[in-house]
Structures are given as structure tokens and as C-alpha cells.
Structure 1
Amino acid sequence: MHPATHSAGPADIDLSSLDFWRAPQEERHAAFARLRERAPVFFEEPDAGPVPAGPGYYALVRHADVTEASRSPQVFASEPSAVSIPDMPSDFAEYFGSMINMDDPRHARLRRIVSRGFTPRMLARLEDGVRRQAEAIVDDLLEKGPCDFVSEVAARLPLAVICDMMGIPESRRAMVFEHSNVVLAGNDPDYLGEDAETAITRLLNAGAELSALLGELAELRRREPAEDLTSALANANIDGESLSDQELGSFFILLAVAGNETTRNAISHTLALLTDHPDQRALWWEDFEGRAGTAVEEVVRYASPVTWMRRTLTRDHEMNGHRYRAGDKVLLVYPSANRDAAVFDDPDAFDITRSPNPHVGFGGPGPHFCLGAHLARREITAMWRELHRRVPGIRAAGPPERLLSSFVNGIKVLPCEF
């Protein structure tokens, strides 16, 4: 620690405290606005149960800092961990040590192999399946009547798409859903139990089960390849490179979690936002296709489904007037960057026609920009196209029940009516 360079945050704002993440969204955004005035701000690390508290971290809350750090991976590294503030114990790394926590050349090698599943040709092949899934989900919704929008609508589409992509059989999908909830549960006792030991056991168990499922499937696909991403990855050989079973397993966990949870939350946030901003709904409904592109980007900016990623300084470095030291940890705080008045006009307004919209809701620019961004946009659009066509009056019937997490801006339950 080097107190000489620290700018401590206001005493009443503590990003390491769960109370901050329990507070209403508006309060959090007001706090981020205050932090942006004195950025970057230093915070003590929370005590993470069996992992001793580390040296603390800077919160990068301005758009300029988040984008610059994202573009400079050689200085702001994703190793040893991008998804946890403390360094992860080695037993976690086995399941959660995916390419999101790696730097080049390892990151580039893995991304080169797995990005084959996300080419325009692969995504076009998925398009029909996405549309059919959305239709089936709305069929069931109309039959069921008012219900929980998250479990009956928002969660079903991304899960079905990821499982179709990977070739996961129908019979195992509930298990994938359950375990991906646990992996991204943040600090929510509904998923993790009340104490740290239970939480860690559940997390490792979820990782092990997901990894084992993919291991079984990969073995089968090496003997009997099919038209799915698991076959492509299990048999991949690019310039003599292929994925180990451990790499396959942790990629699947990344996909099940990042590709499922975040899109589900974006679809849920859309319902809450259209309910709270009927003028924006009317505007979108006037020309659904013409405005879908900007509407989806604005939902991602405004809701920021992923709250932060961590980076670690590889060397001393000056950025925007602040000196960082080798080994410093920083958090890229996306919801704050996405409301930075230096970049966005009237940043607290939800405006589905906003353009340009250089948000960082899919991560900042650079090598770690979300691999599934195009797929997420397609899924959110497909789900809402179907709802707009057949249930245009659908609205939230009460406030969302939010996930207790500093990492994901999640909605657990959102009653809907139509």
C-alpha cells in the first residue's frame, strides 16, 4: 500500500460493503456520480471468508479510465483474476480459470479456438432456433397468464440457446440453469446459503458438475461428432492447437454463466424499464425494427448487467493524471462509466433512440470485449420482437426482487401482467 497516492472515497460510500449493493439503484448511481468527481478512489478489500483480505483496490469510475485500462491489457492485466477482488485459491481456478482471467498469449490462443462458435455464419445458423425458442416461450406465457417473468420468459431463451449451441441434451438443462445461478450468485444467501463455508462448497460443486457434464459430452463428440459447438471445440485443431478438457470445462462455465445470466438480466431489465418509461415503450412500439438496435444498446448501457471486472497493474503507470504502482488492483466499474456526463448527454435518462452510445456494458474496447455481444443482442431483440408482436401490453406487476451481488446487476423475480 502506498498511502501517499491514495484518494480515499467519501466515508459514507464503501463499494466493499454489501450494504452499498443492497441500496436502491438510484442511491448507487448518485454515489457513483460523487466518486467520479474525485476518481480514482481507493477502497479496502472485504474479508472473503477463507481468503485473507488483500491490499485494497482502486475503483475506476470514469468512462475515460475504464476504456483506457481496457485498451491496455499489457499494463492492466486480467491475471491472476478478472472476476474476483481477492486472488482465487487454486481449487477455484480449475473451474473458473477461463480465458476471461487470462492475458495474451494464452488468452489469444483460447479465444482464437472458441471464437469459431461465434462467427457470423454460426450465428446465422442459430437465428432460426432463437426465433423458434422465443415463439415457444411466448406460447407458454399466454397459456400460463401472469407469472414470474424471469423464470418463465427471460431465463429460458439464453439457456436454451447456449444448450443448443453446445449440444446439451434437454434432460440436463435444468441442472445447467441451477448451477449457473449458483456460480453468479454474488453474495445472495438464496443461492449460496448463510455462511462462507457453505457458499464455497456450493460454488465448487456447481463448477465441478458443469465441468463434468462438458467432459462427458466432449468424450462422446470425439467419437461421434455432431453439428454443435462442443464437437467443433473438442475436435478443434488450429495450427496444431486444441483445448484440454480443463479448458473446455472452464469455457463452458464461462459460456453458461456469462452467456446465460447476463442476457437473461438484460431481458428482465427491459421489462422493468419499459414499464417505468411508457413513453419509451410507445416510441419503440411505433417502429419496432427501426428502433430495436438503439433500444437494445440503451438497455445494456442503462442496466449494465455486469458491474465490474478486475485488472492488476503489471508495472508502474500513469493514467489521466494518477500514478499507479505495479501490483495495484483496479475495478472497472461499468455502470458508473455508463452514466458519465463527460460522454453521455443526460446520462440518467433512459432514451431508446440514444445515438451514438459508446457504452461499456459489454466490457470496454480491447481483447476482452464480450465474445457473445452479437449473440446477446440477437437474443434480446428476438425475445422482445415476439413479445411486442403477441403481448404488446406486458408490464411489470411489481418491483423487481434484486440479486444481492456486487458483480452482477441481477433480477431474481419480476412479476408480470398482461
Structure 2
Amino acid sequence: MTVSDPGLAIPLSEINLSDIAFWERPMAEREAAFAVLRAQPGPIRFAEPEISFAPPGPGYHALVRHADIVEASRNPEVFCSGRSATSVQDLPVEFNEYFGSMINMDDPRHARLRRIVSRAFTPKMIKQFEADVQAEATRIVDDLIAGGPGGDFVTEVAARLPLKIICDMMGIPEEHYQTVFDASNVILSGGDPEFIEDLSKAAELLLGAGQRLQDLVTSLAGSRDLADDALIATLTRANIDGEKLTMQELGSFFILLVVAGNETTRNAISHGLHLFTENPDQRALLLSDFDGRVGGAVEEIVRLASPVTWMRRTVTRDHEMNGTLYREGDKVLLFYWSANRDEDVFTDPCRFDILRTEGPHVGFGGPGPHFCLGAHLARREIAVMFRELFTRLPQIRSAGEPDRLRSSFINGIKHLTCEF
């Protein structure tokens, strides 16, 4: 079964990636639209979406082909992150207090900051968390079964595992989990009305969510009960260029790690259940040889889910890439979601195929300094969660269509009814 109808035709004139209405279109129409964009001679330029708390900008090039995104990712000196990677607009300076961490930095400072936390996310360190991941997955399925045959898979299953693990790594006590969960939802809401009812208050709500997380890390950093091996303790002791991290830097770092470590993995797990429900042949393949096929299944889930739809880069000097000339100051959006469906790289790219060998996908970002720091952890969590689910509830399935996040940035699922 394919995710979309390859015969669906969308006129180029009807495609506007900056219009939130585009991201409310059925998935098949989005697939078809990006296929049209990939077929163009070069990247299409779009006007920037309007938001109330940032001035209008000059627009951006939409990079939708796998080759363009890989090359731009490998060339951070030209396609830089330091002028913002997570927003199309150049945001007011006050946003940097909460959202100015290493994802929005370039080397050498980016590399120095990344080295501090990367030790916590190596395969060796992730292996030390395996028992914790397994124990939490078991607890989650215990609770799901106890609650009866159904429920909201996102809140009852997919969100719980990454939230618990990243909070434990950071040293966040359980009584603060809900604060982290709620603030993450607001920060990555994309303006979805479930989380931001009044768009005129979006800036206030975003900054408020950032403030709550920064207040949390500040209080924890000064706590005598904080474990020495907690990531907050590591960050508090960190020395960069002969200086300690400021509380502002610590706060923005903390926000990046808890938001990224929570939101993206939960969306991959949610998409995974829906993909296995829509493709029962692939579920049967996985169950017939779970250990041999789970690695490929995780990569295929991440490829099709592409939880982070795009990242922004800014061109630092005039530069030609794959036949297109980019000018200094140009903005480009790297649409990972589209690259992961590129017909030049993936055969029948909208098909869910856990035995697929083509790639690599860019669901964790492109190659280069900003490749996802938590990729090893995310892979482990997804694999363990589906092992526990399919071992104990092999017939669990999604019921109906996912309630999707109204966002261009995060390919999120807010709610997903499950049955077993």
C-alpha cells in the first residue's frame, strides 16, 4: 500500500508552502505537491509566512531534492545556522534567551557546545540506558492493558517513553514531567489552536513556555539533590572558551534537549503505529523476524515520518549549487520530508517498506555538524517500544485518521486512537 496516490496532479500555482492551509491538506495532496516541486528545474522561491511578532522577510528557497539537502548540509560554511535554523523569520532578540542554543549556532562555538553533551548520547552511553528504556516501555504497556482495549496512543504510549528517558538523563524529577510536556507542546505548536488559541498572543505564550523551562533548569542546577551524572550537572560544570555557561545559555541548551528529546521521538512512534496499521503486510514481516528486521523498520518509520519537516539555513556568500545560484543573505529551507520521498533516491518512495535498502534518508537531518545528536537514543526507544507493543499486543492498531498537528515545521500527531 502506498501512502499517497502517485497519479494525483497538483498545479504548481496551487502550491504555497508558506500558507498554513497547505499543511492542512490531505497527505496524498502534500505528497503530490512536493513531487511537483522536485520536478522543477530548480528550487522555487516562496514569500515568508506572516507572523505578528517578527518583521516580514525577503522570502526563501525551498530545497526539496535529496541531493540539494545533502550538499547544503555538508557545507555549513556557506549554508549557516547561526542566523536561525528553526524559524523562517529572523526573530526578535528576546527569543534568543530561550531558543538560541547550538541548533542555531555555527562552528567553532557550536562544535564546542556539542562536544559537552555528545558524550551522553554515544552508543556506549545509550547502552547504559537500555534497562531503563525497557523498564519504562514495559510499564507503559502494563498501563495501556490495564486501561482497557483502546485509548489515545500519543498521550498514553508514544509521548511517555521519550519524556521519561530524557527527563531522567537531564535529572528532572517526575513531578516536573507535565511542565516539560506542556511547554514542549507550546514551543513546537506551529500555532496550532489546540496549544495557542489566540495567535495574537503567540509570542507571549512561546516566551512564557521558554521561561518556565528556564526557571526549571535554574532551580534544578542549584539543587543539592541533583545527581552528579545528570546532564544538567554536566552542563553546569561545563567550561567553554575558558568560561562557564551562563544561566541563559544553560536554559536555552536545556530547552533544546528536552524539547527535541521528547517531541520528535514521540511523533516517530505515533507515525509508526499508523504505518503498521495501514500496511499489515509490513507488520507481518516484522513479527516474523523482529530482531533481524527492527533496525530497517525503525529507519523506514523515521524516513516516512520525518518528524522535523524542515530546517532553515542562510547563505553566507554567493554560491552555485547543483545549477542554482544563491546570493549572500538568501534563506533556504531544507525540506527533509520531501528529500525522504525523492524518486531519484527511493524506489516507490511513498511506500512503507521495512526491507528497503536505498538511502540514506535524512529523517535525522543531513550529514554534517547538525546531524541529530539524539539519533542513537531515538532509534533505541522506537525499537524497544515496538518490541514491547508487538510482543504483548501484536494486533494493536490505530483507529481512524491521526489528529495531525497544524504545523509546517513538525510533522506531528497530536492524538491517535488505538485499539487492541
Q: What TM-score does the superposition give when structure 1 sets the normalisation length? A: 0.95
Displacement of 1:288 after TM fit? 0.8
Indicate the residue corresponding to 2:386 in structure 1.
Answer: 384
Alignment of 1:121-270 (within 5 A): 121-145=124-148, 146-196=150-200, 198-220=201-223, 225-237=227-239, 240=242, 242-270=244-272
Query: Of the candidates 73, 82, 86, which is equivalent to residue 85 of structure 2?
Result: 82
Deviates more, 1:342-351 or 1:372-381: 342-351
Contact 1:138/1:387 (<8 A) preserved: yes
Letter in 2 for 1:231: A
Displacement of 1:188 after TM fit? 0.1
Indicate the residue corresponding to 1:3 in structure 2.
Answer: none
Query: Of the candidates 407, 416, 419, which is equivalent to residue 417 of structure 1?
Result: 419
SS in 1 for 2:313: strand
Alignment of 1:314-329 (within 5 A): 314-329=316-331
Task: Provide the rounded CA distance (Å) in 1 between the counterparts of 2:280 and 2:341.
Answer: 21
Letter in 1 for 2:204: T
Indicate the residue corresponding to 2:107 in structure 1.
Answer: 104
Displacement of 1:207 after TM fit? 0.2
Task: Provide the rounded CA distance (Å) in 2 between the counterparts of 1:324 and 1:173.
Answer: 44
Letter in 1 for 2:164: A
Displacement of 1:266 after TM fit? 0.3
Displacement of 1:113 after TM fit? 1.1
Task: Provide the rounded CA distance (Å) in 1 between the counterparts of 2:413 and 2:193.
Answer: 14
Letter in 1 for 2:163: L
SS in 1 for 2:89: coil
Contact 2:220/2:226 (<8 A) preserved: no
Task: Provide the rounded CA distance (Å) in 1 between the counterparts of 2:55 and 2:30.
Answer: 27
Query: Of the candidates 337, 344, 353, which is equivalent to residue 339 of structure 2?
Result: 337
Task: Provide the rounded CA distance (Å) in 2 between the counterparts of 1:122 and 1:110.
Answer: 18
Letter in 1 for 2:185: N
| Sequence identity percentage | 63
Task: Provide the rounded CA distance (Å) in 2 between the counterparts of 1:141 and 1:251.
Answer: 33
Alpha-carbon displacement from aligned partner over 1:277-335 (angstroms, at most 9, x marks no partner): 00000001111111000000000111111100000000000000010100000000011
Displacement of 1:241 after TM fit? 5.2
Letter in 2 for 1:205: G
Contact 1:113/1:242 (<8 A) preserved: no
Task: Provide the rounded CA distance (Å) in 2 between the counterparts of 1:81 and 1:334.
Answer: 17
Instruction: Report how many residues are paired.
Output: 408
Indicate the residue corresponding to 2:354 in structure 1.
Answer: 352
Letter in 1 for 2:182: E
SS in 2 for 1:191: coil
Return closer, same or farther for 1:107/1:239 CA change in 2, 3 Å cut-off.
Answer: closer
SS in 2 for 1:11: helix
SS in 2 for 1:86: coil
Alignment of 1:402-413 (within 5 A): 402-413=404-415
Alpha-carbon displacement from aligned partner over 1:378-418 (angstroms, at most 9, x marks no partner): 00011111001111110011110000000000000100000
Query: Of the candidates 311, 316, 337, which is equivalent to residue 309 of structure 1?
Result: 311
Task: Provide the rounded CA distance (Å) in 2 between the counterparts of 1:241 and 1:264.
Answer: 35
Deviates more, 1:255-264 or 1:119-128: 119-128
Alpha-carbon displacement from aligned partner over 1:34-66 (angstroms, at most 9, x marks no partner): 001113110011111131210000000000000
Contact 2:53/2:203 (<8 A) preserved: no
Task: Provide the rounded CA distance (Å) in 1 between the counterparts of 2:13 and 2:313.
Answer: 24
Letter in 1 for 2:84: S
Task: Provide the rounded CA distance (Å) in 2 between the counterparts of 1:56 and 1:63.
Answer: 21
Deviates more, 1:351-360 or 1:406-415: 351-360
Alignment of 1:41 with 2:44, yes or no, is yes
Indicate the residue corresponding to 1:15 in structure 2.
Answer: 17
Displacement of 1:259 after TM fit? 1.1
Displacement of 1:105 after TM fit? 1.1
Q: What TM-score does the superposition give when structure 2 sets the normalisation length? A: 0.95
Task: Provide the rounded CA distance (Å) in 1 between the counterparts of 2:199 and 2:105.
Answer: 30
Contact 1:398/1:415 (<8 A) preserved: yes
Letter in 2 for 1:64: A
SS in 2 for 1:18: coil
Letter in 2 for 1:381: A
Contact 2:154/2:416 (<8 A) preserved: yes
Task: Provide the rounded CA distance (Å) in 1 between the counterparts of 2:193 and 2:92.
Answer: 21
Task: Provide the rounded CA distance (Å) in 1 between the counterparts of 2:125 and 2:219.
Answer: 23
Contact 1:96/1:254 (<8 A) preserved: yes
Contact 1:298/1:357 (<8 A) preserved: no
Contact 1:312/1:328 (<8 A) preserved: yes
Alignment of 1:115 with 2:141, yes or no, is no
Displacement of 1:124 after TM fit? 1.6
Displacement of 1:237 after TM fit? 4.0
